[in-house]
Structure 1
Amino acid sequence: MKTRLFLVASLATAPAFAADQAPAPTVMTVSGEQGFDVKCHVWPRGGDESVRFLDKSRNSFSVNGVWRLECEYKGSSRGPITISLTSPTLPCPFKDAAPDACMTTLRKGGVGSFEVREKRS
């Protein structure tokens, strides 16, 4: 009986430990006027490079363990757009970002690119 009770207790707590160990994903979101396009090359640890396209129909992506991110963007001709990045592995690539929020607002029709890599200690 003690063996069964121990087994049941250990199975009940196993998912809680697994959830605590999973790192938060890197999330990028674009918001603003319709007509923007963003293309990002994403390199996750232990995986192959993938390409993510963002526009008004799909304005965000989420990937675990990102060590490198390269993006090209074209802003809307109708108004500004805001790009935000949340990542446990990447530093903020935006020079104008506030210390507590990794985001930048691009002017109407703005074009450009950014690249960011995981900081190695």
Structure 2
Amino acid sequence: MANHKIFTMAFARVYPLYIQKAERKNRTKEEVDQVICWLTGYDPAGLQQQIDQQNDFATFFAEAPALHPNRSLIKGVVCGVRVEEIEDPLMQQIRYLDKLIDELARGKSMDKILRQ
């Protein structure tokens, strides 16, 4: 497994940036949390615990209760790379999350974002 800097970065450090990005586009923190919980299986208390513990992305995804089975339906480009073509499983999970936040900020409906 490649040792990318993002793997060791605290999720709690990036989480406020996800919220800021969404709020700039008139979306809410609750919607950001809903997207994160959908992808990872965390409930709101579990998500808050990960933030409070300052866990890095590797730990955040390793401890995720249940990665959503429809996450493979997330397609598109993040940072110039197609998320469905990323080979490293952890990097792919991180980019899935980035893609979901991007879709939220672009005004997509929650049904489409959550692949329902």
Q: TM-score, normalised by structure 1?
A: 0.29
Q: TM-score, normalised by structure 2?
A: 0.30
Higher relative contact order (CA 8 A, sep 6+): 2
Q: Higher helix proportion, which one?
A: 2
Q: Higher strand proportion, which one?
A: 1
Structure with max Cα Rg: 1
